[in-house]
C-alpha cells in the first residue's frame, strides 16, 4: 500500500479534478458561483464533508458488504452534512447566513458519493482522508476560478463580502475591478455559469494538450542524449 | 422456577460474546450473510439518527439564541429604539389572519410599549406574487398605522434585478417610511407603471409590485385589528 501522496494531490487538484476532469458536482457548482466568496465558502464546507465521509467510510470499508454499500454511504453522507449544517448554524452563524442555503446542496454533490465509492471504500483511512482533502481543494479551486470569472464579468467586483465569510481581517480582498460597471446579468445567473464553465473546460483541455505536446517534444530531445551518455 | 445466579449469567454472556467475536474473524463470509447486511443497515441508520439527535440537542439552544438575535436586529430596523421600553420579543401576540393581507394563517405581532401605552407594532408577513415565489417582509408601524420601516427578510428574486428591495442593494424600500393608508390613496398603492406612487426598477416591475401590494395588505391587516392590538394594555 505505498501509493505516492503526490500522485493523490496531483489527481485531486488537476488531472482528475472533480469539475474540470470528471465533470460532476455541477449542481452546487452552478448554484453558488455567482460570487467568488460564495464559491470559496461552499468549497471549504464541501472539503470538510468530503474528508469526514471519506474517513468514516474508509474505517468501515471491511464491515460494509458491497450489496448494501450505497444506502450506508448515503445515510453517512446525509448525517455528516446535517451535522455540519447544525454546527455552523449554532457557532458560525454569520457564515451560515451567507452559506445556509447551500449547505444542504452538498448532499446533492455526487462527487462525495463518487469518492466514497471509487476511493474511500478501497483504501486505508490515511489515504482516504488525504484524497478527500485534495479532491475537496480541487473542487474549491474550481469554484473559486468559476466564481471569480463570473463575478468579474457579471458585476465587475472580486471577492465581494469576503469579510462576512473570513472575518474583518480579509476585508482587503474585496476589490472593485471595473468601477461604474453596469453589470452583465447573464453571468450572474446559472446559464452564465454553464457558458463560463464551458470556456474554462475548453481552456483546460487546450492547456493539457499543449503540456502533453511539450512533454513529448522534451522526451524526443532527451532521448539521443541519454543514449550518448 | 430456575433463578440463574450471577456467575452462570456472566458465563453465558461470555460464551455469547465469544461466538459473536468469532463471527467477525471471517469477515468475508460474514459480509455475504443476509442477516448481517440487514443488521448492519439497521445499526447504521440507528447510529446516524442517534448522532443527529445528539447534535440537535447540543446545538438547539445556541441556534435559538442566534435566531432571536437576528429577529431583534430586524426588529431594531423597523422599530426605532426610542419608541419602546419593553422586551418586544417577549410581548408577542398571535392574531388569526387567514385570508387577510399578511398572507399567513396566523400572524405573530410584536407589540412595542412605552410604559403601559402601545406605541407601535411589528410583524412578519408574506408578500405573494414575487418573480420567484413569496417575499418575507418585516413591517413596523406606529399606533396610528403609519409605516416606521419595512425590510425584506428573505426572498428568491433575481440577483441584480429584483434584489434591489434589499437595503444593502438600494434604498428603494425606505420610500415606504411615513406612508399610511390615510396619506396614500388606494390608487397610490401601486408602482408608477400602474399609475401609483412607487418607483419600479428598470427591468423589474414584478418584485416591487409584489412588495407594494404586500405592504398595503399588511396595513389593511393592522387597520382591521387596530383596536384589538393598540387598545390592549396589560
Contacts of A83 in chain B (CB under 8 A): 51-52, 55
Annotate B141-156 with b (16+ C-beta within 10 A) or e (fewer): bbbebbbbbbbbeebe
Q: Is the pLDDT of residue A160 over 90?
A: no
Most trustworthy range by pLDDT among A36-50, A96-110, B158-172 = A36-50
Mean pLDDT lowest among A117-126, A201-210, B158-167:
B158-167
| CA distance readout (Å), A172 to A44, A102, A109 | 20, 25, 31
C-alpha A10/C-alpha B117 separation (Å) is 69
3-class DSSP assignment, residue A187: helix
Inter-chain touch B160–A93, beta carbons under 8 Å: no
Cα nearest neighbour of B38 on chain A: A68
Residues 6+ apart with CB under 8 A from A186: A154, A192, A195
Residue A136 and residue A130: Cα distance in Å, rounded?
A: 10
Q: Of B107, B74, B79, B111, which Cα lies nearest the Cα of B92?
A: B111
* Binary contact (A65, B36; C-beta < 8 A): yes
Interface residues of chain A, partner chain B, Cβ below 8 Å: 34, 62-68, 71-72, 75-76, 78-79, 82-83, 86-87, 89-91, 93, 97, 154-155, 183, 185, 188-189
Whether residue B160 and residue A155 make contact (CB cut-off 8 A), yes or no, is yes
Share of chain A above pLDDT 70, in %: 95
Read off the pLDDT band of A42 (50, 70, 90): confident
Q: Which residues contact B63 (CB under 8 A, 6 or more apart)?
A: A86, A89, A90
User: What does the pLDDT average to over A145-149?
Assistant: 92
Interface of B with A in 62-101 (CB under 8 A): 62-63, 66, 69-70
Which of A54-68, A85-99, A178-192 has the lowest average pLDDT? A178-192
For residue A71, what pLDDT is reported? Answer: 92
**pLDDT, average across residues A131-144:** 94
3-state secondary structure of A80: helix
The answer to whether B27 faces chain A, any CB pair under 8 Å, is yes
Please give, rounded to a whole number of angstroms, the shortest distance from the CA of A213 to a CA of chain B.
Answer: 43
- pLDDT at residue number A227: 55
pLDDT category, A224, cuts 50, 70, 90?
A: low
Q: What number is the average pLDDT over the span A13-40?
A: 85
Q: Residue A42: which of A174, A112, A114, A144 has the closest Cα?
A: A144
A-facing residues of B in 162-181 (CB < 8 A) are none
A206-215, B51-60, B102-111: which range is least confident on average?
Answer: B102-111
- Over range B137-143, report the average pLDDT: 91
Whole-number average pLDDT of chain B: 87
> What's the pLDDT at A229?
47
For residues B119 and B113, the answer to whether their CB atoms sit within 8 Å is yes
B23 near A CB under 8 A: no
Helix (H) or strand (E) holding B68: helix B34-78
Nearest to B27 among A62, A67, A75 (CB): A62
Cell of B25: 474473524
Q: List chain B residues with CB under 8 Å of A71.
A: 41, 44
Q: Which of A71, A183, A188 sits opposite B41 (nearest CB)?
A: A71
Say what the pLDDT of residue A139 is. 94
B70 CB neighbours in chain A (<8 A) are 93, 97
Which has the closest alpha carbon to A103: A39, A42, A16, A178? Answer: A42
pLDDT band at B218 (very low <50, low <70, confident <90, very high): very high
Task: Choose between A228 and B4: higher pLDDT.
Answer: B4
From CA A47, how far away is CA A56, in angstroms rounded?
14
Query: What pLDDT does B234 receive?
Result: 44
Contact B41 A72 (CB under 8 A): yes
- Nearest residue on chain A to B53, alpha-carbon basis: A83
Q: What cell numbers appear for A136 in the block?
A: 475537496
Does the structure show a pLDDT above 70 at B232?
Answer: no
* pLDDT top residue among B149 and B29: B149
Q: What DSSP designation does B191 have?
A: B
Distance in Å from the first CA to the final CA of chain A:
35
Does the pLDDT of residue A1 top 60, yes or no?
Answer: no
Contact between chains at B48 and A79 (C-beta distance less than 8 A):
yes
Among A158-167, B41-50, B133-142, name the one with the lowest average pLDDT.
A158-167
Amino acid at each position: 500500500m505505498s501509493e505516492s501522496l503526490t500522485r493523490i494531490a496531483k489527481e485531486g487538484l488537476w488531472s482528475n479534478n472533480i469539475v474540470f476532469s470528471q465533470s460532476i458536482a455541477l449542481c452546487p457548482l452552478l448554484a453558488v458561483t455567482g460570487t467568488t466568496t460564495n464559491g470559496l465558502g461552499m468549497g471549504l464546507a464541501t472539503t470538510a464533508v468530503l474528508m469526514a465521509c471519506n474517513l468514516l467510510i474508509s474505517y468501515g470499508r471491511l464491515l460494509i458488504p458491497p450489496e448494501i454499500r450505497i444506502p450506508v454511504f448515503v445515510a453517512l453522507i446525509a448525517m455528516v452534512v446535517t451535522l455540519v449544517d447544525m454546527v455552523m448554524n449554532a457557532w458560525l452563524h454569520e457564515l451560515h447566513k451567507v452559506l445556509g442555503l447551500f449547505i444542504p446542496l452538498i448532499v446533492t454533490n455526487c462527487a462525495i458519493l463518487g469518492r466514497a465509492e471509487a476511493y474511500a471504500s478501497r483504501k486505508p483511512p490515511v489515504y482516504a482522508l488525504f484524497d478527500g482533502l485534495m479532491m475537496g481543494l480541487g473542487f474549491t479551486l474550481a469554484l473559486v476560478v468559476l466564481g471569480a470569472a463570473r463575478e468579474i464579468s457579471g458585476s465587475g467586483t472580486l471577492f465581494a463580502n469576503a469579510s462576512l465569510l473570513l472575518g474583518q481581517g480579509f476585508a482587503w480582498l474585496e476589490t472593485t475591478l471595473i468601477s461604474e460597471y453596469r453589470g452583465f446579468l447573464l453571468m450572474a445567473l446559472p446559464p452564465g455559469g454553464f457558458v463560463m464553465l464551458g470556456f474554462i473546460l475548453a481552456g483546460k483541455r487546450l492547456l493539457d494538450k499543449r503540456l502533453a505536446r511539450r512533454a513529448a517534444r522534451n522526451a524526443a530531445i532527451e532521448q539521443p542524449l541519454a543514449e550518448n551518455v | 422456577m430456575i433463578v440463574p445466579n450471577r456467575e452462570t449469567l456472566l458465563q453465558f454472556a461470555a460464551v455469547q460474546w465469544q461466538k459473536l467475536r468469532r463471527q467477525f474473524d471471517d469477515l468475508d463470509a460474514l459480509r455475504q450473510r443476509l442477516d448481517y447486511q440487514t443488521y448492519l443497515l439497521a445499526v447504521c441508520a440507528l447510529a446516524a439518527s442517534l448522532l443527529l439527535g445528539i447534535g440537535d440537542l447540543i446545538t438547539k439552544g445556541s441556534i435559538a439564541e442566534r435566531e432571536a438575535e437576528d429577529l431583534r436586529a430586524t426588529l431594531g430596523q423597523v422599530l426605532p429604539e426610542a419608541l419602546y421600553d419593553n422586551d418586544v420579543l417577549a410581548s408577542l401576540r398571535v392574531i388569526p389572519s387567514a385570508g387577510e393581507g399578511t398572507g399567513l394563517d396566523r400572524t405573530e405581532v410584536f407589540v412595542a410599549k412605552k410604559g403601559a401605552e402601545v406605541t407601535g407594532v411589528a410583524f412578519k408577513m408574506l408578500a405573494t406574487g414575487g418573480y420567484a415565489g413569496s417575499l418575507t417582509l418585516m413591517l413596523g408601524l406606529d399606533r396610528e398605522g403609519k409605516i416606521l420601516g419595512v425590510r425584506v427578510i428573505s426572498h428568491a428574486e433575481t440577483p441584480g434585478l429584483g434584489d434591489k428591495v434589499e437595503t444593502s442593494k438600494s434604498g428603494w424600500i425606505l420610500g415606504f417610511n411615513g406612508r399610511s393608508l390615510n396619506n396614500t390613496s388606494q390608487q397610490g398603492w401601486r408602482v408608477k407603471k400602474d399609475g401609483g406612487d412607487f418607483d419600479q426598477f428598470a427591468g423589474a416591475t414584478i418584485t416591487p409590485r409584489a412588495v407594494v401590494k404586500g405592504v398595503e395588505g399588511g396595513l389593511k391587516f393592522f387597520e382591521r385589528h387596530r383596536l384589538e392590538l393598540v387598545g390592549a394594555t396589560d
